[in-house]
Amino acid sequence: MLTWGVLAFVLVVLLLVRPLTIALSTLGAPMRNKDKILLAWIAPRGIVAAATAGIFGPALVDAGYPDAEALLPIVFLIIIVTVLAHGLTLAPLAQKMSLAAKEENGLLIVGASPWTLALAQTLKKLKVDVVVADGSYQRLKPIRMNGIKVYYGEILSEHAEHELEDEHLSFLLCATDNYYYNALVCKAQGHEFGHHRTFQLAPHLESDMKHKRLTLQQRGYFSFEKTTDFYTLQQRLTEGWTVQTTRLSKDFDLERLQSRLGKLGEDWILLGCVSAQGELKIYSCEQRFKPTLGWTLLYFADESKVMLTDEKADKPPRETEAGV
């Protein structure tokens, strides 16, 4: 029977018992106050409480406590109230306290280099989350100094498994100079990102011989083109190529961009795109997609050539952002 006493008991369990329990159990623990507050509020009851009440309620009645028959209904009331209250308020509270995980729309880059710095800078301008991981502090230093999030350590280590926050990252790009290490990381992280979202740079000619070639089941998808290896990207970067962006429109579509830049894979390299909704996509010769109007293309090209074609145009049809 629902009485004021029962309602008061439910409120005490909800607003006093749980917060007090969390406050005492986390006393002196290295936790932020907002983490403690969230733990103090979220505690939905379920099958364990119902099962316990179902056993002890009848046993107490048989032992001479007739009021114990109200135990099971009260427990079910607590379960319903906590599930509704906590279930409906968890997401808004976590978001307000900046504890909610971000939507998956970002890139984890394994391998710090001048080229990955250029790529990360451009992604940051497009408001895409990016993290660069490397075991060398010296290689990570210029990336960190440019305000890019970094992870210093071995990506395959147990430390990375526990400390690297990658829940909001949707793609993996392994861009070290070691083709087989890139394949190993893609294979190991496939369960985390999904195999179709793991990419690695193509092998250098020395590693692309038939007897040394890895199958798709043993590696990640080749990012960009099959000829786009680590050394090609670094060489193009020293020759004046930059990571750039162009937003496709009715006045300036993909065909017009190609007519200006030249042959894809030789005169310029398509890296990916950001959709009109802000979703990142990585381009791969093994996972091709057709960009549509409103998408922002991300590509690697000779900056001087792009500037020259813009000067020949009647008016600049796009905005170009250089990554370096």
Tens-place pLDDT, residues 161-173: 888 876 778 889 9
Tell me: the pLDDT tens digits for 198-216?
A: 999 988 765 555 556 788 8
Q: How many CB atoms lie within 10 A of CB 226?
A: 13
Give the chain's domain count: 2
Least confident of 60-74, 88-102, 265-279: 88-102
Asked if residue 177 lies in contact with residue 114, where contact means CB atoms within 8 angstroms, the answer is no
Say yes or no: 114 and 85 in one domain.
no
pLDDT of residue 217: 83
Has residue 322 been placed in a domain?
Answer: no
Say yes or no: 264 and 152 in one domain.
yes
| Mean pLDDT, range 44-63, rounded to an integer | 78
Say yes or no: 82 and 128 in one domain.
no
The DSSP element (H or E) to which 91 belongs, if any, is helix 71-96
Has residue 320 been placed in a domain?
Answer: no
Say yes or no: 84 and 206 in one domain.
no
The DSSP element (H or E) to which 174 belongs, if any, is strand 171-174
Say yes or no: 181 and 275 in one domain.
yes
Asked if residue 299 lies in contact with residue 268, where contact means CB atoms within 8 angstroms, the answer is yes
Has residue 20 been placed in a domain?
Answer: yes
Choosing from 64, 96, 128, the residue where a domain stops is: 96
Residue numbers of the domain that contains 143:
106-312
Tell me: the pLDDT tens digits for 246-275?
A: 888 888 877 887 788 888 888 888 898 888
Which of 288, 291, 269 has its CA nearest to residue 279? 291
Proportion of the chain above pLDDT 90, given as a percent: 19
pLDDT of residue 73: 83
Total-model pTM:
0.65
- State how far the Cα of 77 lies from the Cα of 66, in Å rounded to an integer: 19
Choosing from 70, 96, 122, the residue where a domain stops is: 96
Has residue 319 been placed in a domain?
Answer: no
Quote the tokens at residue 148: 């890019």
Has residue 116 been placed in a domain?
Answer: yes
Say yes or no: 87 and 110 in one domain.
no
**Matching residue, tokens 């032992």:** 63
Which of 109, 277, 100, 305 has its CA nearest to residue 199? 109
Pairing of strands 268-274, 198-200: unpaired
Q: Which residues pair with 200 in a beta bridge?
A: 174, 222
Q: For the chain, state the CA radius of gyration.
A: 28
Has residue 317 been placed in a domain?
Answer: no
Say yes or no: 72 and 159 in one domain.
no
Asked if residue 102 has pLDDT above 60, the reply is: no
Has residue 140 been placed in a domain?
Answer: yes
Say yes or no: 123 and 168 in one domain.
yes
Choosing from 74, 96, 118, the residue where a domain stops is: 96
pLDDT of residue 315: 42
Say yes or no: 152 and 289 in one domain.
yes
Asked if residue 310 has pLDDT above 50, the reply is: no
Say yes or no: 110 and 92 in one domain.
no
Say yes or no: 86 and 123 in one domain.
no
pLDDT of residue 311: 42
Has residue 318 been placed in a domain?
Answer: no
Say yes or no: 186 and 85 in one domain.
no
- State how far the Cα of 115 lies from the Cα of 238, in Å rounded to an integer: 10
Which of 46, 49, 44, 27 has its CA nearest to residue 36? 27
CATH of the domain at 174: 3.40.50.720
